[in-house]
Chain A
Amino acid sequence: MDLFFLETCISGLMAGVMYALVALGFVLIFKASGVFNFSQGVLCLFAALALFDFMSDKGWIAKVFGFALPIWLAIFLTILVMIAVAWLIERLVLRHLVNTEPIILFMATIGLAYVLEGLGDILFGSDVKPLDIGIPQGAWDYLLDEHGLYIEKLEVVAAVTAALLVTVLAIFFQKTKIGRALRAVADDHQAALSVGISLNTIWVIVWSVSGIVALVAGIMWGTKSGVQFSLSLIALKALPVLILGGFTSVPGAIVGGLIIGIGEKIAEVYAGPFFGGAIENWFAYMLALVFLIFRPQGLFGEKIIERV
Chain B
Amino acid sequence: MPEAPSELIHLRDVRRRLGVSGGKTVEFALADFRVEPRQRIALTGPSGCGKSTLLNIVSGLARPDSGEVRILGTDVARLAPGTADRFRGRHIGFVYQSFNLLEPFSALENVVLGMRFGGTIPRHDRAPRARHLLEGVGLGHRLHSRPARLSVGERQRVAIARAVAGRPEILLADEPTGALDPATADAVFQLLLSVCEGEGCTLLLVTHDLELASRLPTQVDCRGYVTAGGNP
B is a partner of A = no
